[in-house]
Chain A
Amino acid sequence: MSAPAASFPWFLRVLVAFVRRELAAVGAYRMAFAIRVLGFGLAVGSLMFLSRFVGAAVNPHLAAYHGNYLGFVVIGFLGTEFQQVGVSVLAQRIRVAQMMGTLEAEVATPAPPWMVLGSPPVYEFVVAALRSAAYLLGAKLLLGLDLSHANWPALAISAPLIIAAFSGLGLLAAATTMLVRRLNPVAMVIGSLSFFLSGVMYPVTVLPGWLRLVGRLLPLTHALALLRGTLLIGSGLAELRSSLLALLAFAGLLAPVGAGMFAFALRRARVDGSLSHY
């Protein structure tokens, strides 16, 4: 038996085995799952009352979104969750695998490291997409979220670009976590800055000009512009061109830099022996 060539079908086999293993373990985390659902219910409830409060006034900053603050803020949180998945999952997975001791056993197999470590982000992005769809549907059915202007084809084209940009950040975050062996510093910095400057809770138009410029350096700002543009306004790709190009630039820059840094971090782990400890 010779080692199969690193290929997409092999990666799919690893992904399926990973998902089966995760689902087998999920049964043991029923309480955690229930708490998560409850947490989401409470968050949506608070957003509903917040939107009633904000939506009661005529707000020029929300005019572009048809005054739909509920949609604005729900998409703000969903975009933030996608960024969180991208930036945190790989780093967290490596940290847990180092602490549990599974990382060493996994990289000792013939599968290349990208295959070993690629499954969790793919799985988590799929889960996040399903969860987002459920949240949007729930918000539409229960809270009357207005998605009548949505441009679904434009969203389908934009989403992979958003995921690619967040994945590039994730590689950087994972490499940094491996190198400094501390809780994900990239996620903490990017997460805080994005919540402040990317327009999660409020439109970026309320920010002073110089802060708006800083905000444009964050992928989430452009991801939210794409998500809100396609889902709430019904914008087409031409109208969203600047955000699409910005995300393309983020993905084109962050993915190779992140991959290079990650390869360096893995090699460093083989030099200092930290594959099996954190």
Chain B
Amino acid sequence: MSDSSAAAAVGAATLPAILVEGLGKVFASPAGLRDMLRGRLFGDPVTALSDVSFAVRPGEIVCVMGPNGAGKSTLVRILGGLLLPSSGRAQVAGIDAGAGTAEFRRRVAFVVGDERSFHFRVSGRGNLHYFAALHGLGAAEARRRSGELLARVGLSQAADRRYREYSRGMRQRLAIARGLLGDPQVLLLDEPTLGLDPRGARDLRAFLREEIIRGAGRTAIVCSNDPTEARAMADRVLFLEGGRLHAEAPPDRIEAELGL
């Protein structure tokens, strides 16, 4: 590596993996009957995020905590490029999140544990093959990569069972495998252990942290309202409340910050 490229690499390494500046999101709620009688097409606007700014270093795991409705899912969807902000900007893996480019979607994986996001009547393997094609993989490469990822998340034995027969934990693992199809630099995880039993949640957190994130040198944002999850996974915790960044703390200060 030449001096200039080495310097560029060092520079790139010190750039934040995620940079959020003055991010805001206001939703226009649908008009109710009273609004329409007043000649209004929309109801009162709902502010989901307001002036949120933070940065995440490469390789860092940051947990975003907050009560229901705090704006966690809105934030992670903006970072994943699935939602456009009303104000401010977000840069993830060096690309503007609102740009919606294919390269952005390759570098950033939004791992949603939403069990509705797979085809229920198709096997886990079949579902992964389909998403592999959406990542541009040919049939042989899709088979190889899907098999490798299914093994990695511990679903090899159940790969050919229909998705609807999967337990909640298996569905979460399949969602993680899907998120890794493109070998992303940044993982955005929205409540990854939601609904799992305590032991299943503990195992999944350890697996995510050590193998999927740390082991591959990835950066991750984990949205959760579970202090146990934040302690087990995060290097740093951000607290959202009412759409605003309320505080920031290391994981061992969560209880103090939350007043528990």
Q: Is the CB of B119 within 8 A of A109?
A: no
Determine whether B166 belongs to the interface, using a CB cutoff of 8 Å to chain A. no
Among A10, A21, A112, the most chain B Cβ lie within 10 Å of the Cβ of A21
Q: Is the CB of B178 within 8 A of A3?
A: no
Contact flags A1-37 to B (C-beta < 8 A → 1, else 0): 1111010001001101110110011001100000000
Determine whether B77 belongs to the interface, using a CB cutoff of 8 Å to chain A. yes
Q: Which of B99-107, B212-220, B222-230, B247-255 contacts A (4 or more CB under 8 A)?
A: B99-107
Determine whether B116 belongs to the interface, using a CB cutoff of 8 Å to chain A. yes
Chain B contacts for A3, CB-based, 8 A: 102-103, 105-106, 136, 182
Contact flags B83-120 to A (C-beta < 8 A → 1, else 0): 11000000000000000101101100110101011110
Determine whether A111 belongs to the interface, using a CB cutoff of 8 Å to chain B. yes
Chain B contacts for A116, CB-based, 8 A: 134
Chain B contacts for A4, CB-based, 8 A: 136
Chain B contacts for A28, CB-based, 8 A: 121, 162
Contact flags B129-166 to A (C-beta < 8 A → 1, else 0): 11111111111001000000000000000000010000
Determine whether B28 belongs to the interface, using a CB cutoff of 8 Å to chain A. yes
- Residue in B28, B105, B106, B139 whose CB lies within 8 Å of A13: B139
**Also in contact, A2 and B121, with CB within 8 A (given A17-B133, A20-B126, A110-B182):** no
Chain A contacts for B178, CB-based, 8 A: 105
Chain B contacts for A238, CB-based, 8 A: none
Among B117, B127, B132, the most chain A Cβ lie within 10 Å of the Cβ of B117
Q: Is the CB of A17 within 8 A of B132?
A: yes
Measured between alpha carbons, how far is A162 from B247 in the docked complex, in Å?
60
Q: Is the CB of A110 within 8 A of B102?
A: yes
CB of A271 to closest CB in B, whole Å = 5
The interface size of chain A toward B, counting residues with CB under 8 Å, comes to: 38
Determine whether B183 belongs to the interface, using a CB cutoff of 8 Å to chain A. yes
CB of A268 to closest CB in B, whole Å = 10
Determine whether A108 belongs to the interface, using a CB cutoff of 8 Å to chain B. yes
Q: Is the CB of B130 within 8 A of A17?
A: yes
Among A109, A267, A270, A271, the most chain B Cβ lie within 10 Å of the Cβ of A109
The interface size of chain B toward A, counting residues with CB under 8 Å, comes to: 44
Chain A contacts for B102, CB-based, 8 A: 3, 6, 110-112
Chain B contacts for A127, CB-based, 8 A: none
Chain A residue at smallest Cβ distance from B118: A102
Q: Is the CB of A110 within 8 A of B126?
A: no
CB of A14 to closest CB in B, whole Å = 5
Measured between alpha carbons, how far is A231 from B20 in the docked complex, in Å?
62
Chain A contacts for B134, CB-based, 8 A: 14, 17, 106, 109-111, 115-116
Among A14, A25, A105, A272, the most chain B Cβ lie within 10 Å of the Cβ of A105
Chain A residue at smallest Cβ distance from B115: A101
- Chain A interfacial positions (CB closer than 8 Å to B): 1-4, 6, 10, 13-14, 16-18, 20-21, 24-25, 28-29, 100-102, 104-112, 115-116, 267, 270-273, 275-276
The 5 A-B pairs of least Cβ separation, nearest first, read A101-B116, A17-B133, A109-B134, A4-B136, A105-B117
- Chain B interfacial positions (CB closer than 8 Å to A): 27-28, 74, 77, 80-84, 100, 102-103, 105-106, 109-110, 112, 114, 116-119, 121-123, 126-127, 129-139, 142, 162, 178, 181-183
